[in-house]
Structure 1
Amino acid sequence: MKPLDRNISVLEHIVSYCQQIQETVDRFGDDYQTFSTDPIYRNAAALCILQIGELVGKLTEEFRARHSSIPWRQIKAMRNIVAHSYGTVDPETTWEIITDDIPALQQYCLTVIAAQSE
């Protein structure tokens, strides 16, 4: 698979996890109080964040350098925090990620994907 194809495939998978996060918010409610007190809700979101971080590691260095407006390194770092913190990730931080950062990441990925198919 050519690098461009690989990067687009990775972005498509990232979009899928972003959509799953949105579906999780839709299912449980767009409410921080519910999120902060429901471990199932938090774990569902955290797993998607973990997967997104894992996928970011599969993007080529050239792609990440060319698209430097996205904090790829921080996304990957968050994956490591989620994976190795054993349930101690700050709910407020996770909430901010799923309500602010994930929609922006999804839109960015969709824009890049659309530009490649033109």
Structure 2
Amino acid sequence: MTESDPRAIQLLDDLLLHADAVARLVRRGKPAFDQDEFLRYAGEDLLVRLGEVVARLDRKVPGFVEAHAELELRNLKDTRNFVAHGYDVVDFEIIWEILADHVPVVSARVRELLES
């Protein structure tokens, strides 16, 4: 259950891979996101992928997510569930906010954990 567990490290690396893709999407800007349905779909998909990483972390390294509440990983898993199952009621303003504001914070915290 420690951060030195190879399974945890691999999954956190996967999370960072998807978070980096989020950063590239966000760099395109909010106007591009608003105007391009494929960017919005990509944003949804990245949130699903991030949440799935957290779900796998929960399964493969039990207790890790709870032990590292400061990473706010549970929020990504909850967002994944909402986007995957409530795709017809997704508010893209909220999606953008999560992509632009929340994911970078989680990513920075995960990087700090992996570097320590």
Question: What range describes the TM-score normalised by the shorter chain of this pair?
Answer: 0.7 to 0.9
Deviation digits for residues 25-63 of structure 1 (CA, Å, limit 9, x no counterpart): 23xx222x4323321111111111100000001222321
Q: Provide the residue aligned with 2:29 in structure 1.
A: 30
Deviation digits for residues 43-87 of structure 1 (CA, Å, limit 9, x no counterpart): 111111100000001222321122111333221111011111234
Note the residue ranges of structure 1 that are not aligned, 5 or more in a row. Answer: none
Quote the RMSD (CA, aligned, Å).
1.8
Deviation digits for residues 58-117 of structure 1 (CA, Å, limit 9, x no counterpart): 2223211221113332211110111112343111110110111111111111111112xx
1:13 aligns with 2:14: yes
Moved over 6 A (4+): none
Q: Provide the residue aligned with 1:95 in structure 2.
A: 96
Offset of residue 20 of structure 1? 0.5
1:67 aligns with 2:54: no
Map of 1:100-115 to 2, 5 A cutoff?
A: 100-115=101-116
Amino acid corresponding to residue 5 of structure 2 in structure 1: L
What is the TM-score of this pair, normalised by structure 1? 0.83
What is the TM-score of this pair, normalised by structure 2? 0.85
Give identity over the alignment, percent: 27
Which structure has the highest helix share of the two? 2
How many residues matched? 111
Q: Is the 8 A contact 2:65 2:74 kept in 1?
A: no
